[in-house]
Amino acid sequence: MWPLLDRLGWHDDVRLTVTVVGTSLLMRRDPAGVFELGKRRMVVLPIVLRRRCGISAGDDVFMVADPARGVLVVHPARALDQMVTSYHASLAGGDRDDR
């Protein structure tokens, strides 16, 4: 995870605000944020936020750093499946099955 945090320039003293967007979490630096990375520089996903996104303890997640916007986005693994499936369907001309 540290390479993602390094790309964002986030160190152990960074405070964050977290917003739920659909089934994903959007994290951004905020001096008044409730969450802090801490010395281990780990992003901890509070249970209340995980539940809102349908993420259970131990679930795989897909994390994306967007340095241009200063955000870290956490997607549940199933969201990645849906994104790739939708993208591939658009390449093939929609949801048709031409077999």
Report CA-CA distances (Å) from 25 to 22, 90, 92: 8, 25, 30
| pLDDT of 99 above 70 | no
Give the global pTM. Answer: 0.77
What's the rounded mean pLDDT across residues 25-32? 95
Distance CA 71, CA 66 (A): 5
Contact 73, 43 (CB under 8 A): no
Q: Per-residue pLDDT tens for 41-90?
A: 777 788 899 999 989 888 889 899 999 999 999 999 888 888 888 888 88
**Which H or E run contains 74?**
strand 71-76
- How far is residue 95 CA from its own chain's centroid? 27
pLDDT at position 98, please? 52
pLDDT at position 96, please? 56
pLDDT at position 95, please? 57
What's the rounded mean pLDDT across residues 10-16? 89
